[in-house]
Amino acid sequence: MSTVNGLTARERLVGILRHRQIDRPPVICPGGMMNAAIVDVMNRTGHNLPEAHSDAVLMAELAGDVYQQTGFENLGIPFCLTVEAEVLGSTINIGDLACEPKIASEAFSSTAQVAFKDPDELLSAGRIHTVAAAAAILADRYPDVPVIGNVTGPISTTASIVDPMRFLKELAKDKANAHRAISYVTDFLCQYAQLLLDHGVTLITIGDPTATGEILGPRFFEEYAVRYLNRLIDTVHAAGGLIIVHICGNINSVKNFIPEIRSDAISTDAMVNLRSLKEEYPQLTTMGNLSTYLLQFGFPDKIATQAHRLVQDGIDIISPACGLSTSTPLENIRAMTEAVKECASDFAGGSASDTGNSMEWEVVR
């Protein structure tokens, strides 16, 4: 059993999401759009992309490599944002060692053309069961480490199967079909999340990079992003799971809607002052937000200083601010993770709102 100060990595992350008093923040990189399968790790281990995108054993091996090499306190799968769009009909460029998979062409030119598929057919297609099988391997192999299953958010998934420019226009000009398409996608995402929970993931992280205030604006962020994120979140909670939502970009225009998102933690981009957000909305569990630019191009001592600052600011979970470049140096990531692990005495976060100061750990996924 891998423990620090008496807590396993799994207990620490679950604890902070359950509003319990812990010794220090977890330091994680969830996977999905925040993928830490960097070239340095793959070159050291020989478990490589793109092969690991489609092979459950390799996916689990690479996730384990990331955990062991980087110091991040979680196992995160998959390593891209294209699993869902592929099974919904879009064409994928699977990428290579240094380049993540991308959407090559969307399946539909408009929301009105979205063709509904049978849910059972979707859950047996593409790489869905590859990810689920990898989750089961990891949950069995690393019982004390949280396994994070990543689900691409409703808005981003829909924008990955419908021409994105047309889709964004139809949020205003064809609301009926826009809601119809996003609702269909969200129902599928709910089933996918349930499948991952059934295969042993500890929690779900949603990355929804298209669902930003900068892209949608406040009105559509509330009408579409909050509504469908909460449907997915409620499904995960009903299944007994925990959930983190990452919001990309500058949240100023939609900040007042953030507390309406019913996730267990909110992760934000680097330009967001998380200390101020936490002061304004103390009920939020905050995650982030060390600059990925700094992680890629900075020096280890500067990275360690910034990681210490986030801990001192009381940020509940420390993580990169968004997706890491695959060329990020391993020594820079280690500077971040080691700095967080050194600063338990500086941690101003944590909560005992549910259980007082008793360290009682219930059995969770």
Residue-level pLDDT at 119: 87
| CATH of span 13-346 | 3.20.20.210
CA nearest to 320, candidates 22, 28, 2, 18:
28
- Model pLDDT, residue 36: 95
**pLDDT for the residue 181:** 98
The span from the CA of 350 to the CA of 360, in Å, is: 15
User: What phi, psi does 56 have (nearest 5°)?
Assistant: -60, -40
Query: What's at 11, amino acid-wise?
Result: E
> What is the value of pTM for the model shown?
0.92
Please tell me the predicted confidence (pLDDT) of residue 185.
98
Q: How far is CA 116 from CA 25, 113, 226, in A?
A: 42, 9, 23
Per-residue tokens: 18: 């359950």
- Per the document, the length of the chain is 365
Give me the pLDDT at residue 363, please: 33
- What are the boundaries of each domain within the chain? 13-346
Say how many CA atoms lie within 13 Å of 363 toward its Cβ: 2
Contact (Cβ atoms closer than 8 angstroms) between residue 262 and residue 230: yes
Residue 343 confidence (pLDDT): 81
pLDDT at res. 360: 34
Output the DSSP codes for 106-152: -SBSSGGGPPP--HHHHHTSTTHHHHHHHHHHHHHH-TTS-EEEEEE
pLDDT digits (tens, 9 = 90+) for 333-363: 999 999 999 986 555 555 434 433 333 333 3
Q: Is 310 helix (H, G, I), strand (E, B) or coil?
A: helix
Residues 317 and 25: beta-carbon distance below 8 Å? yes
Classify 92 as helix, strand or coil. strand
Residues in a beta bridge with 242: 203
Q: Tell me how far apart the alpha carbons of residues 190 and 120 are, in angstroms, rounded to a whole number.
A: 13
DSSP 8-state symbol, 204: E
Mean pLDDT by 10 residues, the chain (365 residues): 71 97 96 95 96 98 98 98 97 95 97 94 96 98 98 98 98 98 98 98 97 96 98 97 96 96 97 95 96 97 97 97 96 98 65 36 34
| Residues in Cβ contact with 145 at an 8 Å cutoff, skipping those fewer than 6 apart | 2, 8, 9, 10, 67, 73, 74, 75, 138
